[in-house]
A and B are shown apart, each in its own frame.
Chain A
Amino acid sequence: MTDAESTPPPAPAAPYTRPLPAPSAVSQPFWDAAQGHRLVIQRSKKTGKYVFYPRLVSPFGTDDELEWTEVSGRGTVYSYTVARRPTAPQWAAEGPYVIAIVELGEGPHMTANIIGCDPDSVRCGMTVEAAFVDVTPEVTLVQFRPTGEGSPAG
């Protein structure tokens, strides 16, 4: 049945009710890049080391400066948990979901959800890549999904 008239109109997207980031002047470049589906973090001019989250002051020295740089978005699961019960009321309607710390290839750790896979398949050391999820017209969250062959696309 392909009669367009008999197909019900798509349900309006439910309003996004989960907590959203409130970017600061310092962190805005991160969120702007995420909207363009790019992952940018800061790097030390002095040492070349990467740091996350965005900050005004370098943790690598008082004479150091930080500069924005695009990174690969590839990393590994440093650790994770499958939340069998919601960690906050806004997640109550969702089944088990994965909260993880991802170690980027460049070194820094980020917290995100591992999406696009069976929650019970996630393991420490699993390789993942950034997945950009546009949750509102203004905000894109940086999530991660497995890179392994055979992993369903997120």
Chain B
Amino acid sequence: MTLRGKAAIVGVGEFKPSRYTEGATTLGMLAQVAGDAIADAGLEMGDVDGIVVESFAEAPFMAPATIVEYLGLDAKFSEVVDLGGATGAGMVVRAAAAIAAGLCETVVCTTATRRERRTTEGPKRTANSGFSGRLVDRTPAAEFDTPYGAIGANYGYAMIANRYRYEYGVTPEQLARIAVAQRYNACHNPQALFFGQPITVEDVLNSPVVVDPLHMLEIVMPVAGAAAVVVTSARKAKRMKQPAAYVLGAGEHTTHKSVTFAPSLTNTAIKASADAAFKMAGVRRKDLDVASIYDCYTITVLLSLEDAGFAKKGQGGRFVDEHNLQFDGDFPLNPHGGQLSFGQAGTAGGMSHVTEAARQVMGRAHGRQVKKCQLAFVNGNGGIMSDQVSLILGRER
């Protein structure tokens, strides 16, 4: 059995990322953006019979039931996905699998990240508070990484970049060009956080070094936001009026949680996840029209381009020099601006790579539409190159 062509994304909902969400609840955001996606698909709540959600602070357990109740759904499939930044892509895989298995027909996958302005009152983020400050970490990483200040993600990606420079070599300018191309894309997307704020390679290199060798403008800024998609059976998608983004390939790979225990910092689990997705889809790398690749840092993109098979190993810097990564270039990458320039709203930031790929193959990416876009590659990356989920979406089954 394969997932190829069994299900399709038929609706998307997404909030414009913002610095803060004063007074909003995560539950409210999850429900609202799910409703937007359902309406975008031309469906009603009663048409939805599956829910995929992440756990969130207001519902530390039974998150799917909480959303189902709030939206008045009647779900035959309720699922929580916990893959860090790969959660959005992983939700689509699980929704498609449930549909292909006949458990349900139409699933809404929803993500949201709330962000309050810091005040002197209330709980503060502590060293052990983990991703988005939601949970207290009692994993081995808390015992053997945290005491050394190995906290957050910046340090881990910086170590990846330094190891990559040691083994293969890449110049600061090459890494900076990735951020610059994505900012160009964001300047064509009014929904992007950094719309209207173009940058140059010099701007990136003149921004402060936060963790060697990464500059401020190579690092995502955490923001608030929400994103959702509706996944339905191919049978139902074919009968709908609007174009769909069919799930043609999917692959996942997880090898570690703490970066300390990554089998390699430079040869990542993306190779296995991408190979599986391409094999399932039966398409070649050169057939792809757009790449929507998780970009928490510039180095993430460089490694993903190599390990997903678009660039040769060790040649990522050269690939960036030889290709134009703008949405109107020869290798369109993250046309929405990527999380570096669209905004990194936690798991919703990861989902933005799914929503953008879907919009591109549906032909709905106004102002930044990649021409003749038929096939999109999506990569979701959780933790510090930990959970990898690859998808191939296509306009045709």
Contact = CB atoms under 8 A, between A and B. Distances in A.
Contacts of A89: 127
B225 to A, nearest CB: 24
B159 A19 contact: no
Interface residues of B, number: 35
Interface stretch (A1-9, A42-50, A62-70, A78-86): A78-86
B180 interface: no
Nearest to A120: B212
B135 to A, nearest CB: 15
A76 B256 CA distance: 21
A53 B144 contact: yes
B211 A141 contact: no
A84 B166 contact: no
Contact of B162 (A55, A88, A124): A124
A124 B158 CA distance: 13
Interface in B159-179: 159-160, 162-163, 166
Interface string A106-118: 0001111100000
Contacts of A109: 260-261
A141 B143 contact: no
Interface string B254-265: 000011110001
A21 B147 contact: yes
B367 interface: no
A48 B62 CA distance: 44
Interface string B138-150: 1010111111111
B211 A90 contact: no
A23 B143 contact: yes
Interface of B: 126-128, 138, 140, 142-152, 154-155, 158-160, 162-163, 166, 208-213, 258-261, 265
22 contacts: A18-B127, A18-B149, A19-B128, A21-B142, A21-B146, A53-B261, A78-B265, A79-B162, A81-B155, A81-B213, A82-B211, A83-B211, A84-B209, A84-B210, A85-B208, A85-B211, A87-B154, A100-B159, A101-B265, A111-B145, A113-B148, A113-B149
Closest 3 A/B residue pairs (Cβ): A81-B158, A79-B163, A124-B166
Given A83-B149, A90-B127, 6 more contacts: A19-B128, A21-B143, A80-B159, A81-B159, A87-B211, A88-B152
